[in-house]
Structure 1
Amino acid sequence: MNQSNTTSSVALVDDHTLFRKGIVELVNGFDNFEIIYEAEHGRQLQEIIDQGDVPEIILLDISMPIMDGFATAAWLRERYPDIKILILSMNDDEQTVIRMLKLGAKGYILKDADPIQLEEALNQLQKTGFYHTELISQALVNNIYNEAELQNQKKNFSDRELEFMKHASSELTYREIADKMCLSPRTIDGYRENLFEKLNVKSRVGLVLYAIKHKLVKVE
């Protein structure tokens, strides 16, 4: 249990009413934490905070209508960076975890976690400003591994080849790619044929699939 005499103000942002009511009762039963208000989505949270009700901690869902957790976290990072964000979500996808951490979340727990874990998370946020779980640790390790793999992949290609792959993954024709890269169509043909041979593919589709699979390009 938290032995501090300081009560931390908490806001809860989630679009499910029954879940909110349960969390409010739970958190208000913990030592030194009080939920001062609830919001159904990020837009409603904005309106409340901008009136001056700034909590120390925000329990934030991700999947919400009108303004989801990603947009809300980005807004909070820009306007209220001192607020500690703890994500409460059913989504355990590693890319989602990493994205939320990059947006400023200080902790991430799943909605089916034991209440004890939620209390521990709040205590750690209050004491240290962070709450690291096995889920976060594994996501970070895998992200670092993937980044290293990506860098190793990129070493196999020149900057011009990577630029060509990026344009080839769009709807541009080869002539338009040549214009974009300020090169002649013949030079572009050379890039294309060299990459086909290097990657052992026979078509632009094969080239694009390789680039996407190995995260050499991002599909918007």
Structure 2
Amino acid sequence: MSDFRSLHRSGAPLVLPNAWDVASARMLVRAGFVAVGTTSLGVAAANGVPDGEGATDADALRLVRRITGLPCHVTVDIERGSVGLAVAVAAAGAAGVNVEDAMGPVETQVRLIRAVKREVPELFVNARTDTHWQRAGDLGEAVRRVRAYADAGADGVFVPGLREPGDIDAVVRAVDVPVNVLHDPCGPTLAELTALGVRRVSTGSLLFRAALAATVEAARAVRDGTPVRTAGLPTYADIAATG
């Protein structure tokens, strides 16, 4: 299996699908993905706890311990994270972590990144800034933050919600580490992101939300006596074979 860092360095961006449980991770690996991330929203919602409040630490760690044996690289969304949690997921076999700042003080995130890299230097730290997530977006602030995080030792930077080509280009040019963006169905195509120099594209909670929508759609179809879409559905045997 190739080195996780090398997946960010050549060719098209690394497309990183985000799983929320063992079955989704196994199916993504079977589909040919060489790296799988976790989605904090998916893990939180699947376990009935809020996202972004540090309530998923135990669940995220339990999940990574169960999927790092798969033939793929695993990177874990640890929300705002902690050094202890980063060390624990690394010990469980994770290749990387995603740590978000939720727009807290830059200095706080810088200290966290430095501490994590000091304790587990081999762990790929993807430093996320939330300047554009659920916000109008401030490009100048995003650039300031990603530069600070890269200077602190982050292996990559992530600006979810960034979608304008000019803004993406500005962030890519601002740092010497791989830039990660969140897939946006209404944003630039993968080919356009490649041309802009983006090195990683995550799906975030998209797959989890799509799965929920498909679940409700199928249940309504059964209730209402309308056709259930079965094209492409994995069979019972397909799922059982991943166990």
**TM-score for the superposition, normalised by structure 2:** 0.33
Answer 1 or 2: which has greater helix percent. 1
**Which protein is bigger by CA-based radius of gyration?**
1
Q: Which structure is higher in RCO with an 8 Å CA cutoff and minimum separation 6? A: 2
